[in-house]
Amino acid sequence: MSQYHLSIYRHDPSVEGSGRYVDYTLSTGARLKVLDALDAVSKEYDTGIAYRASCLMGRCGSCAVMLNGKPVLACQAQVEPGDSKIEPLRGYPVVRDLLVDRTPHERILTSVRAHLDASGFARPAAFTYGKDLYSLTLCTECLVCQASCPARNEVPADFAGPAVMTQLARYARDPRDQGSRPVTALMEGLHSCTSCMTCSEVCPKGIDVFGQAILALRKGAANTRLPSPKVQDDMTEMFRQTRLALPKSGPLLVEELDNAGCAHGDVAVFLGCMFQVRHKEDGRALLDVLRNRGYSPVVPKGLVCCGGPLLWTGHEEEARQAAVENVKILNETGASKVITACAGCGLAWNREYPRLLEGTGLSPRFQVLDVSRVLAAGKRPEEGAVVASGTGRCAYFLPCHIRSQGAADDARRAAEMAIASSGGTYVAVEFPECCGGMSASADPQLASRLAAKVIAAAERDAIDTIVTSCPFCVENLARGARRARSKVRITHLLGISK
């Protein structure tokens, strides 16, 4: 028999201020889904909890709730024995207990005309559903992605959210539709999306919401020359001229290194724009970390921006050019592993390159790994030397793009090891999931608000140092700390690794 201790949110609209958590215990040998648990509590305690469900098979999208802070379908998600918290879906008004009012969502769908706009269309001679259109039609409007979206949750008035973008992308892909879907998406805050990709990870229907909806609409907007944030246009123009996504302020790191450009080796390094231009110290630390573990890393010359920032703002052709140039150079090194320390670069390589390289006849003959994988699993240097002082109480902030690479466990382990070797104390802090770093150029206000939340969480736990593994997070959190006049120090994992 297993014990399930459930803390369930109860709210009676007829009683002012009645919202509270009520604890229920179930003892059963059966495995429970959230819906089973709610049914069992209703039966055993005769409590009349209000919740929604219909199909019981993940098809109707009506049963979404929060389980331990994550949005899930109650008919699909398993409850583990022990303590669990069940709450109404985040971001919508509560009607009663676990029932939320979906009207705000329905209103937006009406206002964006989320239906086939076929006024005056001529039926295409051969109309077939492509893979992406078919996938987008699977959306059940369960709102799980909405509840998980940091941008939408922070300022719902500015960003309609991923479920709305899914509907717009669906009609944008339908050859019968006459609507200007990318224009509508822009008006609904398309560029406020932080590119965290959480929506793709949580969608119960397996829709790659970020790739198939957000990116498709951004690409549509870029191709039709609709206005996009100026910084993004500047970045793309800069790439066309310099092959980097950041302005150069002096020599690149690769131009400063003595042994850069050596041709062959088993391990190569992909520095990316941030370590080439703005975070050179961390770039040098990456090379030291690898050498301390017995590698002789090759640092090829001629590598360009990974293309991620270009692709994620809708500039697919430039991103493809970047992928082709980088793969050609790194294939020539003969390396079997390429190490990066930028979460965004790693994600671009692992998530986007396979698609970008389709039809080019090129494929990488190596694996791209985040440095945290090496730090967590590779050979270790001698213990004992303290590499940084004054790190104090340290917490690890997990970048969205490390999580999306499936490297979260290694990254946490690497951070714990690095913190220990820095003489600091590791503290587990429950941070908000996204710091907004990737939206800093398109929506600085949103980025600032999200960073402020991370800093506030660190302050609450009296953290001295936030360790993270993405230079975009480092920069945005450092801005957040400065604005909040906080003494919390922000460092890349490499800043305290040896």
Q: Which of the stretches 57-65, 226-234, 364-372, 445-453 binds ligand FES when contact is defined by CB under 6 A?
A: 57-65
Judged by CB under 6 A, which of 5, 12, 25, 55 binds ligand FES?
55
Burial class (CB in 10 A: 0-12, 13-18, 19+), 142: buried
- Residue 264 CB, nearest distance to ligand SF4 (Å)? 38
The CA distance from 435 to 419, in Å, is: 21
Q: CB within 8 A of 307, min separation 6: which ones?
A: 318, 319, 320, 321, 322, 323, 326, 348, 352, 356
Per CB under 6 A, 207 contacts ligand FES: no
Q: Which of the stretches 61-69, 187-195, 365-373, 382-390 binds ligand FES when contact is defined by CB under 6 A?
A: 61-69
Nearest to 224 by CA among 175, 183, 191: 183
Per CB under 6 A, 112 contacts ligand SF4: no
Q: Decide whether 62 or 195 has the Cβ nearer to ligand FES.
A: 62
Judged by CB under 6 A, which of 210, 270, 275, 472 binds ligand SF4?
210
Paired tokens of 41: 């509590």
The CA distance from 97 to 104, in Å, is: 18
- Residue 323 CB, nearest distance to ligand SF4 (Å)? 21
Per CB under 6 A, 59 contacts ligand FES: yes
Per CB under 6 A, 62 contacts ligand SF4: no
Number of shown-chain residues binding ligand FES (CB under 6 A): 12
- Residue 474 CB, nearest distance to ligand SF4 (Å)? 19
- Residue 396 CB, nearest distance to ligand SF4 (Å)? 20
Per CB under 6 A, 135 contacts ligand SF4: no
Site for ligand SF4 in 158-177 (CB under 6 A): 162-163, 166
Nearest to 89 by CA among 2, 202, 166, 207: 202
Q: Which of the stretches 14-22, 56-64, 129-137, 437-445 binds ligand FES when contact is defined by CB under 6 A?
A: 56-64
Neighbours of 48 (CB within 10 A): 10
Per CB under 6 A, 263 contacts ligand FES: no
Number of shown-chain residues binding ligand SF4 (CB under 6 A): 30
Q: Which does 199 bind (CB under 5 to 8 A by kind): ligand FES, ligand SF4, none?
A: ligand SF4
Per CB under 6 A, 144 contacts ligand FES: no
Q: Decide whether 144 or 273 has the Cβ nearer to ligand SF4.
A: 144
Q: What is the DSSP letter of 190?
A: G
- Residue 299 CB, nearest distance to ligand FES (Å)? 51
Neighbours of 432 (CB within 10 A): 17
E-state strands within 149-288: 267-269
Site for ligand FES in 73-112 (CB under 6 A): 73, 75
- Residue 97 CB, nearest distance to ligand FES (Å)? 16
Q: In what order do the strands lie in the sheet with 70-73?
A: 20-28, 2-10, 82-87, 64-67, 70-73
User: What are φ and ψ of residue 415, in 5° steps?
Assistant: -65, -40
Q: What is the DSSP string of 115-183?
A: S---TT----TT----HHHHHHHT-----HHHHH-HHHHH-TTT---HHHHHHHHHHHH-TT--S-HHH
Contact residues toward ligand SF4 (CB under 6 A) are 61, 139-145, 148-152, 162-163, 166, 193-199, 203-205, 207, 209-210, 214
Contact residues toward ligand FES (CB under 6 A) are 53-56, 58-63, 73, 75
